[in-house]
Amino acid sequence: MVFDFLRPVSDEFLNFVETLSPQTLGKKTLFNTEAEFPDLEGVQVALVTVNEYRGMVEANTDIDFTTFRKYFYGLFPGNWSLVLADLGTISPGDSIEDTYFLVRSVCEDLLRQRIIPIVIGGSQDLTYAVYRSFDALEQMVNLVTVDSKFDFAKENNPVANSYLSRIIVEEPNNLFNYANVGYQTYLNSQEEIDLIEKLYFEAYRLGQVSNTISIAEPVFRDADLVSVDMFSVQSSFSGNFNHFNPNGFDGKEICALIRYAGISDKVSTLGIFNFNNSTKEVSLVAQILWYFLEGFALRSGEYPFGTKENYFKYIVPIDDEELIFYKSDRTGRWWIEIPFISDVDNKIKKNTLLPCSHEDYLAACEQEIPERWWKAQRRNLL
């Protein structure tokens, strides 16, 4: 059983949980202990920490996540309830590929049980292992990263800076869309930026998102896997001065973004990587995770799980096209239809809905084709 490779939480931490208020998250969570592995029946979200940093230069592979757990499980849930389990820690394998296999296997098993895996810790190349866990589900995958860089392969760069190339190139190629939220232009070569455009992927600059945080909501609403690089957060907010970052998201912005991921009905996996377990950073990561859980608890069960019968339909003619928009009568969120073209080879096999914003609809009424719709059309035909 793949869960046999997970290291249980420490006795020190369990003793700490005993001292917590009955209302805290720690009192409402099932833990993998030396005595027993938790029964996953009815569990909705499972947390796994990973002590694998060999994808980075000068990697520290001896991080204890007890401090993080103490801070996170000492928090109080909001006016919501969910069944959460903490499965412990994946220790580094003999090789980094061994760790990838364990991460992939654990996430795959959880996804099969319709449990959302949350992977905390390790370098961001673990995103590749989590992505490969979707292979068994035989579905196209939308990947969203919160990252200051695109992480394409560069000569002599560490593995963590090139995992995206591996995702794009390796078979089976299940990637339908990649979207980056928060990239900083001066940290990426023009060749990388051009490649994003060539592949019809999406990228949103840090300033663009910080100025209007809501533009990222449709992006997360369409994601299957969300990967957060903590290097995308300003050091003044993360407390990580070993890897100094003068620019990036502030604490409120990163929490708002991951709340969007939580509230998305489609997001089924979250990874938070490249955090150094310092006293300051564990508090921020714990709060990021709290906001994801709050969003998850408030999910509405809309598309792709609901039907279009409860939507208002709007048809906007543009040149030779008819753009069809749908607005939820429950949440007020918007979608635009991507039509199925029968006489070409499509990645999608039927009409599907792409999350969009009210501003996209208003722009279409002014005869402007939404960029997200245009790129999705082109990706579908690649």
Tens-place pLDDT, residues 56-108: 865 556 678 999 999 999 999 999 999 999 999 999 999 999 999 999 999 99
pTM over 0.85: yes
* pLDDT tops 60 at residue 342: no
Same domain, 26 and 94: yes
Give me the pLDDT at residue 73, please. 98
In a domain? residue 71: yes
In a domain? residue 303: no
Same domain, 334 and 191: no
Same domain, 283 and 325: no
In a domain? residue 302: no
If pLDDT is split at 50, 70 and 90, which confidence band does 349 have? low
Determine the structural domain holding residue 368 and report its residue range. Answer: 308-381
Give me the pLDDT at residue 3, please. 85
In a domain? residue 357: yes
Residue pair 145/201 in contact (Cβ under 8 Å)? The answer is no
Same domain, 11 and 127: yes
Total structural domains within the chain: 2
Per-residue pLDDT reduced to its tens digit, 221-278: 999 999 999 999 999 999 888 888 999 999 999 999 999 999 999 999 999 999 877 7
Last residue of a domain, one of 297, 319, 334: 297
Same domain, 28 and 74: yes
- Helical H segments across the chain, by residue range: 11-18, 66-73, 96-112, 126-132, 163-169, 190-198, 206-211, 217-221, 235-238, 251-263, 279-297, 358-365, 371-381
Same domain, 218 and 316: no
Give me the pLDDT at residue 305, please. 65
Same domain, 69 and 24: yes
Query: For the chain, what's the residue count?
Result: 382
Last residue of a domain, one of 266, 297, 328: 297
* pLDDT tops 80 at residue 18: yes
Same domain, 256 and 320: no
Same domain, 192 and 292: yes
Give me the pLDDT at residue 228, please. 98
All residues at 6 or more sequence positions from 264 whose CB lies less than 8 Å from its CB, including other chains: 220, 221, 222, 223, 295, 299
To the nearest whole number, what is the mean pLDDT of the chain? 91
